[in-house]
Amino acid sequence: MNTPIYNLRPRRQGAIPDVIFMLLVANGLMFALQQFPAFSGIIHSLALWPFGSPYGDFYPWQLVTYGLLHGDMMHILFNMFMLWMFGRELERLMGPRRFLTYYLTGVVGAGIVQLIVAGMQGGGYPTVGASGGVFALLLAFGMTFPNRMIMLMFPPIPMKAKYMVILFGLLELYLGVSGNAPGVANFAHLGGMLFGFVLLRYWSRPRRRS
């Protein structure tokens, strides 16, 4: 018997579902703390540092906590807007617990890929941002609502969700390989999508009953 990915009867929620509200608040608070010199140690302890970096040390919890930090105002605004835009319906369909599990899988998966890439390229600087979880949500949205029309921001043209996911994926791959977006963890974004896809496939596989 198949184990459903989504709840058959999603509970009613407000304009901002519970988990997304929690993530918005947590990311906002952490970004606010980053602005005060007294909390400058946040980056050293919570950002994702590559193995052997001369500037900071890696700790396992950073695979989650780096997703609560952001580089600047535009960075956090874009990620939180994407979280709200693509996550609302998914949380209502998945339910809070499964939605949070999926989101964190994207964050952790993106972090793992970033550590691998940084190890291969010899990078020593930390990674911050919720983009891994956001790109995982983008993939799930495109798979759940493939024919939903989405208006892109840049350029402002309508596009079906399934084509938007493909476009974003190809763009991230191109930017990652070409190096035309320095300072952006493009392969980490792809890692979030990859780990999200694997989890969705795992949830949807048939289960045997004894």
Give per-residue pLDDT as tens, 30-44: 999 999 988 888 999
Among 63-67, 99-103, 201-205, the minimum mean pLDDT is found in 201-205
pTM: 0.90
Q: Which of 40, 53, 189, 204 is catalytic?
A: 189
Active site residue 44: no
Q: 1 falls in which pLDDT band (50, 70, 90)?
A: very low
Residue 195 has pLDDT above 60, yes or no: yes
Nearest to 63 by CA among 109, 14, 103, 11: 109
Q: Which of 40, 45, 75, 131 is catalytic?
A: 131
Residues above pLDDT 70, as percent of the chain: 91
Active site residue 131: yes
Which pLDDT value is given to residue 151?
84
Which pLDDT value is given to residue 4?
47
Residue 62 has pLDDT above 60, yes or no: yes
Strand partners, 48: 127
- Would you say 67 and 107 are in contact if contact means Cβ atoms under 8 Å apart? yes
Q: 124 falls in which pLDDT band (50, 70, 90)?
A: confident
Q: Which fold has domain 26-204?
A: Rhomboid-like fold (1.20.1540)
